[in-house]
């Protein structure tokens, strides 16, 4: 028959799905006893009606089923009190009592990918969404930041249907398809235009990085706003190790603007690591590829910048539909040509590994 200590030891190996840490270390196990093989548990969950409670219960049952002599498991889930939540946030937050908050990304092993372009509507948000999931599908911990504070679209595209949870002093991002997301969309009313002035915006972006429980993801993928304004400057300041991925369409005009984004990256000393060409072709019912927006823009831009063309994404109605209803194509149709293209880009980004490429000789037209 297992002892109370053995039950506790087995629970130590269970991570809270929301917070990604051991439920024992997080102080979530309120009671764990075992009498004649009957295990009786009380688990304190930080957030009322936590959407991941079922996932947690399954993980607990699985961990205990490995213990010999367990006959039954009675697990009760109760919501933590305000004091308990604060104690939990003290355990989670990376800064100590009375210390200044820290930005976890300046000095961590997390690779930061900033998806940019010089022009709107080329598919940055779609690419951020699908690339994030494709990286998660490769087994990585992935977080996404929707830095497009005016035109936020990632909550809808990723299919996130709930706001972040507040645990003590920390904001815990919701997850969808294995990706944690923070977006200005969670903090504003969709119908109200957001009017942010420079300093406020800077502060808001900083809070996204410091007050949010990110865990320690392998990747942070950022949907940058179109253009090269205040936000890009702030992001570069907060995330000096960010690697820029430029999105362009095959036509030369789009390539010009994408080049501007590259110029911006250069100015703020972020390294461009690659180009993704979007809307490269449309495959008709006849099986032929139609290059609706021309061809060669991505390859030319990559060549001019001295970086790789990481991939080409075809124009497919399913990609737009998946973005509209929160079922991104890499999840909805993983075998499709577009999903495979995202998988290829994720693989390539992984292979490249973190690096900084300096191009002092680079001249932006
Ligand atoms: N390869 C594609 N095939 C079909 N539709 C696409 C493709 N890429 C993007 N779209 C659609 O084009 C529209 C614009 O894409 P998206 O919102 O990703 O671009 P964006 O660069 O983030 O735009 P914005 O500058 O407005 O933020 C969306 O409706 C999206 O679903
Ligand atoms: Mg967008």
Q: Is residue 221 part of a domain?
A: yes
Q: Is residue 360 part of a domain?
A: no
Q: What is the pLDDT of residue 190?
A: 62
Q: How much distance in Å is there from the Cα of 104 to the middle of ligand 1?
A: 30
Q: Are residues 121 and 213 in the same domain?
A: yes
37-69 pLDDT, tens per residue? 999 999 998 877 666 778 899 999 999 988 999
Contacts of 320 (CB under 8 A, 6+ apart): 126
State how far the Cα of 208 lies from the Cα of 63, in Å rounded to an integer. Answer: 34
Q: Are residues 86 and 189 in the same domain?
A: no
Q: Are residues 69 and 130 in the same domain?
A: no
Q: Using a 6 Å cutoff on CB, does residue 119 contact ligand 1?
A: no
Q: Are residues 146 and 9 in the same domain?
A: no
Q: Are residues 68 and 183 in the same domain?
A: no
Section 320-349 average pLDDT: 96
- Give me the residues paired with residue 59 across strands: none
**Taking Cα atoms as reference points, which of 221, 110, 177, 182 lies closest to residue 326?**
177
Q: What is the CATH number of the domain that holds 78?
A: 3.30.300.130
282-283 and 289-290: which strand pairing? antiparallel
Q: Give residue 11's domain range.
A: 4-92
Q: Are residues 11 and 119 in the same domain?
A: no
Q: What is the pLDDT of residue 362?
A: 47
Q: Are residues 37 and 127 in the same domain?
A: no
Structural domain ending residue among the three candidates 92, 127, 162: 92
Q: Is residue 195 part of a domain?
A: yes
Please say whether the beta carbons of 61 and 71 come within 8 A: no
Q: Using a 6 Å cutoff on CB, does residue 146 contact ligand 1?
A: no
**DSSP string computed for 329-345:** HHHH-TTSHHHHHHHHH
Q: Is residue 245 part of a domain?
A: yes
Name the closest ligand to CA 278.
1
Strands (E), the chain: 29-35, 38-45, 72-79, 111-116, 142-146, 165-167, 170-172, 175-176, 179-183, 219-223, 243-248, 271-278, 282-283, 289-290, 308-313
Q: What is the pLDDT of residue 38?
A: 94
pTM listed for this prediction: 0.86
Q: What is the CATH number of the domain that holds 272?
A: 3.40.50.300
Name the closest ligand to CA 127.
1
Q: What is the pLDDT of residue 35?
A: 93
Which ligand 1 atom sits closest to the C-alpha of 226? 25
Chain mean pLDDT for the chain: 86
Q: Is residue 359 part of a domain?
A: no
Q: Are residues 88 and 143 in the same domain?
A: no
Structural domain ending residue among the three candidates 92, 122, 144: 92
Q: Is residue 40 part of a domain?
A: yes
- Number of domains the chain contains: 2
In this predicted structure, the answer to whether residue 14 has a pLDDT above a threshold of 80 is yes
Using pLDDT thresholds of 50, 70 and 90, give the confidence band for residue 363. Answer: very low
Q: Are residues 50 and 125 in the same domain?
A: no
190-202 pLDDT, tens per residue? 666 566 666 777 8
Nearest CA to ligand 1 atom 9: 123
Q: Are residues 125 and 86 in the same domain?
A: no
Q: How much distance in Å is there from the Cα of 122 to the middle of ligand 1?
A: 6
Helix (H, G, I), strand (E, B) or coil at 148: coil
């Amino acid at each position: 028959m297992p002892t109370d200590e053995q039950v506790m030891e087995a629970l130590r190996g269970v991570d809270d799905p929301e917070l990604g840490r051991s439920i024992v270390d997080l102080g979530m196990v309120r009671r764990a006893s075992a009498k004649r093989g009957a295990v009786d548990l009380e688990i304190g969950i930080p957030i009322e009606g936590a959407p991941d409670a079922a996932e947690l219960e399954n993980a607990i049952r699985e961990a205990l089923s490995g213990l010999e002599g367990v006959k039954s498991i009675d697990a009760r889930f109760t919501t933590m009190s305000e004091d308990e939540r604060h104690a939990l946030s003290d355990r989670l937050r990376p800064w100590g009592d009375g210390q200044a908050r820290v930005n976890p990304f300046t000095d961590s092993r997390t690779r930061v990918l900033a998806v940019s372009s010089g022009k709107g509507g080329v598919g940055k948000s779609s690419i951020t969404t699908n690339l994030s999931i494709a990286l998660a599908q490769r087994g990585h911990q992935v977080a996404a930041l929707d830095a497009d504070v005016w035109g936020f679209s990632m909550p809808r595209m990723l299919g996130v249907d709930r706001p972040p949870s507040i645990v003590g002093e920390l904001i815990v991002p919701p997850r969808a398809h294995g990706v944690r997301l923070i977006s200005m969309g969670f903090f504003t009313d969709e119908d109200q235009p957001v009017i942010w002035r420079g300093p406020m915006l800077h502060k808001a972006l900083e809070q996204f990085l410091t007050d949010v429980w990110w865990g320690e993801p392998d990747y942070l993928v950022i949907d940058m706003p179109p253009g090269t304004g205040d936000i890009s400057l702030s992001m570069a300041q907060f995330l000096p190790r960010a690697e820029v991925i430029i999105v362009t369409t095959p036509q030369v005009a789009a390539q010009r603007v994408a080049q501007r984004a590259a110029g911006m990256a250069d100015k703020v000393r972020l390294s461009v690591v690659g180009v993704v060409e979007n809307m490269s072709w449309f495959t008709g019912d006849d099986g032929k590829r139609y290059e609706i927006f021309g061809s060669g823009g991505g390859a030319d831009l990559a060549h001019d910048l001295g970086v790789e063309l990481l991939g080409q994404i075809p124009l497919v109605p399913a990609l737009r539909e998946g973005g509209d209803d929160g079922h991104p194509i890499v999840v909805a149709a993983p075998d499709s040509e577009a999903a495979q293209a995202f998988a290829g880009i994720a693989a390539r980004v992984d292979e490249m590994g973190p690096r900084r490429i300096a191009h002092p000789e680079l001249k932006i037209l």
